Structure 1
Amino acid sequence: MNALQPHARPTPALAGDGVTDAEELARLVERLREAEAKREAHARDIVIGEFSVTGARVPLLHIAGLQTLTRNESAVLRFLGWGRANGDIATLLNMTENTVRTHMNNAIRKLELDGVRELNSLAGLLFMPLE
C-alpha cells in the first residue's frame, strides 16, 4: 500500500450473511435472553418489600432497585403513593418524621432518582389505586 492510498477498511457484512464470529453470536444470544427476562418481569407481579405490584405499573428501569428496598423503605414508599404526608407516615409506622425522611433518602439513592418529587411520582405510579 502506498502513502497516497487510505487504509483499507474491512467491508461490513451484508444483510443475510449472518454472524460469523462465535463471541459476537454469544453476546447477541445473551442480550436476547436479558430482553426476554425483562419482558417476563414486566408481565408478572413485582414484589417490593412485602407488597406486590402489577409488573405493568413498574418502569423497567426501576425493577432491580425496587427489589433492594427494605421493608420500612417500601412501606414508606407505599404510603407516599397513597398521598400520605411524612407526619402521617411516621404515625402509621410508629417512627419519627426524621426516620421517614431517612427511608425516603435511602430509597431515592437506591432507585437513582433526582429527588423527592421523582420518588413521589414513582410511588404514585406504583401504589395509587386504579379504581
Structure 2
Amino acid sequence: MNDMHPVPQVDIDEEARLRELMRLLRKADEKAGEDHTLGEFRIPAARIPQRHAEGMAALTKTEIAVLRFLGWGRANADIATLLAISENTVRVHLNNMCNKLELDGVRQLNAFAGLLFYPVN
C-alpha cells in the first residue's frame, strides 16, 4: 500500500474545460479565414489579440523561433539547444518579447505563445 504518496486524480472538470477551449479555438480558426504571417509561420488571425499585433511586427526572426518553441511547450534549455544559443540568450529573448508585447512576464508570454502555436488538432 502506498498511503504516503496518493496517486493524483485527473480533474474531470479541468479536462472538460480544456476540451471546450480546444473546440472554441478550432471554431475560431475556421471562422477567421485569413492568416497572419509571423516570420515564416502562418497563424490564424483569430488567435492574435489586437493589442499585440503591433508588438508582434517588431519581433526578430530569433524571437519568433523562441516564441514558437515556447508555444510547443519546450523548456529554455531545449530551446537553447535547438537554436544553438545559450540559455541566457533565450532568457534575454523572452524578456525582450515581454517588453515588445507589453506582457507582465514570462508566464503571460508562455500563455500567449501557446495560444499562437499550440496545435488544436
Taking structure 2 as the reference length, what is the TM-score of the superposition? 0.71
Runs of 4+ in 1 over 2 A off after TM superposition: none
Q: Which protein has greater RCO, CA pairs closer than 8 Å, 6+ apart?
A: 2
Return the index of the structure with the highest Cα Rg.
Answer: 1
- Give the structure 2 partner of residue 45 of structure 1: 35
- Give the structure 1 partner of residue 8 of structure 2: none
- Give the structure 1 partner of residue 95 of structure 2: 105
C-alpha distance after superposition, 1:65-87 (max 9, x if no partner): 11110000000000000000000
Return the alpha-carbon distance in structure 2 between the equivalents of residues 99 and 50 of structure 1: 21
Paired amino acid for 1:85: A
CA RMSD, 1 decimal: 1.1
Paired amino acid for 1:104: L
- Give the structure 1 partner of residue 72 of structure 2: 82
Q: Secondary structure at the match of 1:100?
A: helix
Paired amino acid for 2:108: E
Percent of aligned pairs with the same amino acid: 60
C-alpha distance after superposition, 1:39-89 (max 9, x if no partner): xxx752112222111101111111111111000000000000000000000
Paired amino acid for 2:68: R
* Deviating more after overlay: 42-51 vs 88-97: 42-51
Structure 1 contact 47–67 (Cα < 8 Å) conserved? no
